[in-house]
Amino acid sequence: MARVERTLVKSPPELWELVDDAELMQRWAADLVGDPNAEIEVTERSEGERLAWRAAGDGGAGLELWLAEKGWGTNVVIEARRGERSQSGEFGDDDLERLLDELSSPQRRPFTRG
């Protein structure tokens, strides 16, 4: 399991709008399991606070994300579990740091591809 934590200078509602997005979850799942067609199943959604999902049919691959207001920003924690049938190598802290970088981007919708 990989885990990262960082405080981002965005409000919890702003970050929630970004992370509670099917396209984003699909892309992150594809990265996690190494399959661009990976399907996801949301297993827990506590609006504005916690989001958990798993890659369907991959024996436990999934991601959990927590948001908590902290000072002038939001503390974000991301944990990822690699599944039994994941096709790529270890998904580690560096990969999760990249996801945090993406979330901290100043763009309004940083997840659209051009």
Is the pLDDT confidence value at 4 over 80? yes
Q: How many distinct structural domains can be found in the chain?
A: 1
Give domain status of residue 37, yes or no: yes
Instruction: Please give the pLDDT value at position 1.
Output: 80
H and E: helices and strands count for the chain: 3, 5
The answer, as to whether pTM is greater than 0.95, is no
Ordered alpha helix ranges (H), 1-114: 12-19, 22-33, 93-104
Is 30 within the bounds of a domain? yes
Is 71 contained in some domain?
yes
User: In this structure, are strands 2-8 and 40-46 parallel, antiparallel, or unpaired?
Assistant: unpaired
Residue 71 and residue 42: Cα distance in Å, rounded?
29
What CATH number does the domain containing 96 carry? 3.30.530.20
pLDDT tens figures, 80-98: 887 654 455 556 788 888 8
| Residue 114 forms part of a structural domain | no
Q: pLDDT digit string (tens) for 35-83?
A: 788 788 899 999 999 999 988 765 668 899 999 999 889 999 999 887 6
**Domain enclosing residue 21, as ranges:** 2-104
